[in-house]
Structures are given as structure tokens and as C-alpha cells.
Amino acid sequence: ARKKMQTLLITEDFGGQLMWTMSIENYMGYQYITGPELMEKFKNQMEQYGVEQRAGRVLRVEKQAAAFLLHMEDGGFYEGKTIIIATGKRPRMLNVPGEERLKGRGVSYCAT
């Protein structure tokens, strides 16, 4: 988007695991920042450069002669010359009593 390319971000979970990460101490430029704070900075930068954001789920990617066609769960579609697929990650849950209630307050997951 910074180079004046039309850019679209499609996600069903904006921010993903970052949104419930309570403490980040190893991201360059910050001694300490929470996941939601860092995600807000990412969103501000995307808006600054005109990156469009759409909530949704891509069901299928179809390669055509000069483009890719993304088929959406809601029946819509998007077309683009280039796509980047970033599926994100989810932590492996412990499945113990109180895990959800104590997430970020004693129960934590590390992505590194």
C-alpha cells in the first residue's frame, strides 16, 4: 500500500492471538507493550497507507490466467494479481478447569 498498490487485508479474526497477549517484551522498539496496544499501532499504520480491511473467510483460491480469484464464505469474491496467505496460529490449549477465566492472569501461551 505504501507504494500506491491497492492492498486488501481479509481476516475473520483481526489481530488473532495478538489480541489476547497481555505482555510483549521482545518486539523491537518497545520495552513492553500489550498485544492490543501493538495491534492498534498496526491498524493505525494500515489506515495511514490506505490498506483496506474486510472481515470474512476465504473458502477457496482459484488461479486464473492473469489473476487469483478468492471465493468468500458469504458468496462474494475478490480478484487480485498477487496474494499472500498468512493463516496465523493458535496456541495449543491446556484444557484444564479455569483456563479460559485465567487466560492472561496466570495462564499464558508463548509464540516464540
> Taking all residues of the chain, what is their mean pLDDT, rounded to a whole number?
89
Residue with cell 483456563: 99
Tally of CA atoms within 13 A in the half-sphere of 9 that contains its CB: 17
Predicted TM-score (pTM) of the model is 0.73
Q: Is residue 98 part of a domain?
A: yes
What domain count does the chain have?
1
Q: What is the CATH number of the domain that holds 53?
A: 3.50.50.60
Q: Read off the pLDDT band of 97 (50, 70, 90).
A: very high
> What pLDDT score was predicted for residue 111?
63
Instruction: Please say if the pLDDT value at position 71 is more than 90.
Output: yes
Q: What domain range includes position 34? A: 8-102
Say how far apart CA 85 and CA 56 lie, in whole Å. 14
Instruction: Please say if the pLDDT value at position 43 is more than 70.
Output: yes
Q: Is residue 31 part of a domain?
A: yes
Task: Tell me phi and psi for residue 37, to 5 degrees.
Answer: -65, -45
Least confident of 1-5, 26-30, 51-55, 75-79: 1-5
pLDDT per position as a tens digit, 17-35: 888 788 888 889 999 999 9
> What pLDDT score was predicted for residue 9?
94
* CB distance 76 to 69 below 8 Å: no
What ranges make up the beta strands (E) of 48-104?
52-55, 58-63, 68-72, 77-80
Say how far apart CA 76 and CA 10 lie, in whole Å. 12
